[in-house]
Chain A
Amino acid sequence: MALLEVSGISKRFDSTEVLKDISLELEKGEAIAIIGSSGSGKTTLLRCLNFLETADTGCIKVGGETLWDAKLPHTQSESEIRKKRLHFGLVFQNFNLFPQYTALQNVMLAGELLAKEQPGYKANKKRIHAELEQQARDLLAQMGLSDRADHYPHQLSGGQQQRVAIARALALHPDILCFDEPTSALDPELTGEVLRVLRELAANNTTMIIVTHEMSFARDVADRILFMDGGVVVEQGPAKEVIDHPKEERTRQFLAHYGN
């Protein structure tokens, strides 16, 4: 059974149909890249998976459990959705770090708030805090940012900010980590350092969905590629196959812009 099963997702904004009956499956440890031109619905799909947008139709299952179903209103209450969100992590194009917190605090904040809701938090406060801090420091070290733990976001470069954001998402141990054009706000030099982190995550079999415009990166790192256009998945398959030998004319046209 696939870890993630998405079926029949549609979404319209006013008169524009942004997603048309999208279905996809993702195995544990698999990394898929979603490519396509702007406005093809890639970002909206990720936002639906993270419940930042509410799809009009469809169903989202993780590990066989129905997290969200357009036909089942009880899966859509705010408190239900809040818990289910934690199956997913999302890294934004614009990082969205909290400016008033240091890198370390950004990584720790959500974990601390969740720990506070657990029974027995007060008695073990110090130990829990120490554990969370150690975990956050380890994650920042993994991102190559040990010496930036006490810096505020505005004191970090874009690439460093994005790596803090990745550490922040990893801190909650999501089943599936989503990236929404993680390098689109970065210049080429900084793009490299973020892609390096993504390569490492893929090598460690992190389950990921990456919306990206970096074709060679997608080809090398993703197991599978989905090409979206006009709200539908036009073509999908093993990464190298889709990039090197696209079957659909529309895919070929799109990839031509990237010199493939």
Chain B
Amino acid sequence: MSTEFSVIIGRLVSAFTLNCELFCLTLLFALPLGLVIAFGSMSRFAPLRAAVKTFVWVIRGTPLMLQVIVIFLGPGLLGFQSPWPSNSSGRMMAAVAAFVINYACYFSEIYRGGIEAVPKGQTEAGQVLGMTRSQIFFKVTLLQVIKRILPPMGNEIITLVKDTSLANVISNKEIIMMAKEYSAKGLIWPLFSTAIFFLIFVGALTLLFGWLEKRLDYFR
């Protein structure tokens, strides 16, 4: 019994590394991509702005689960050569692609809100002091934006932790899928125990964001 327990926990841990991997890769690509999308949605060039806003609407307006399936199967169904290798890493790549696109769109709206919340006077003060646009962004605006977006970002990133489970719709063997295999055999505790993995992960993130917010508490 105890060996069975440690074997099951070991399997759940290794399945959870897939969740963690998906989480990290999504953040790695979606955080910068979101900024690009945010600038697109604030562009002074109206057609680009409209195109970006439509794209964000479609992505935010449809379920992530559906997007994962469409990205994985869509190219093949449309008669193209599937871009994803037909093995487990191909399924993982498709999941990462879908997650990155989806989360970049959510992040872009958070960035946009943060950027637009910085008073216009900050930019103007930089301009009259002879700063370039990029100097104003990096030296004046950016830290104020980061301070403002930390709470909504924390929220979104916590959602991402739990969303990683959706990768199992294209047979990525993440922790919930692994646990369900046991419940199909009549063993129910592994499924319930997955909650602890997520709780620990989210707890660590909550502490991290609390610490970051405190670090930026020195100015208003």
Contacts and interface: CB of A to CB of B under 8 A. Distances in A.
Interface in B120-164: 121-122, 124-133, 135, 139-140, 143-144, 147
Interface in A68-108: 78, 82-83, 85-86, 88-90, 92, 94, 96-100
Interface string B169-187: 0000000000000000000
B130 A82 contact: yes
A100 B143 contact: yes
Nearest to B143: A100
B214 interface: no
B130 A83 contact: yes
Contact of B144 (A88, A92, A99, A154): A99
A94 B121 CA distance: 8
Contact of B130 (A86, A98, A100, A152): A86
A96 B136 CA distance: 13
A142 B131 CA distance: 25
Contacts of A85: 127-128, 130
A249 B21 CA distance: 77
B128 A152 contact: no
Contact of A96 (B122, B133, B139): B122
B218 interface: yes
Contacts of B139: 109, 113
Interface in B68-88: none
Instruction: Give the bracket for the number of chain A residues in contact with chain B.
Output: 20 to 34
Nearest to A114: B130
A135 B132 CA distance: 23
B122 A110 contact: no
A244 B132 CA distance: 45
Specify the main secondary structure of chain B where it touches its partner.
helix
Contacts of B127: 50-52, 82, 85
Contact of A52 (B124, B133, B140, B144): B124
A153 B143 CA distance: 15
Interface in A148-189: 152-154, 168-169, 172
Interface in A26-84: 50-52, 78, 82-83
Contacts of A152: 218-220
B98 to A, nearest CB: 36
Contact of A98 (B122, B128, B132, B218): B122
Contact of B132 (A82, A89, A92): A82
Interface residues of B, number: 22
A16 to B, nearest CB: 20
Contact of A89 (B128, B144, B218): B128
A113 B219 contact: no
B119 interface: yes
A172 B129 contact: yes
A98 B140 contact: yes
B122 to A, nearest CB: 6
A88 B218 CA distance: 32
A92 B147 CA distance: 24
Nearest to A101: B219
A153 B129 CA distance: 18
B138 to A, nearest CB: 10
A109 B129 contact: yes
Contacts of A92: 121, 124-125
Interface of A: 50-52, 78, 82-83, 85-86, 88-90, 92, 94, 96-100, 109-110, 113-114, 152-154, 168-169, 172
Given A94-B121, A98-B122, 17 more contacts: A52-B124, A52-B127, A52-B128, A78-B133, A82-B132, A85-B130, A86-B130, A89-B128, A92-B125, A96-B119, A100-B219, A109-B129, A110-B130, A114-B130, A153-B219, A154-B220, A172-B130
Interface of B: 119, 121-122, 124-133, 135, 139-140, 143-144, 147, 218-220
12 contacts: A52-B124, A82-B127, A82-B131, A83-B130, A96-B125, A98-B122, A100-B219, A110-B126, A110-B129, A110-B130, A113-B135, A154-B220
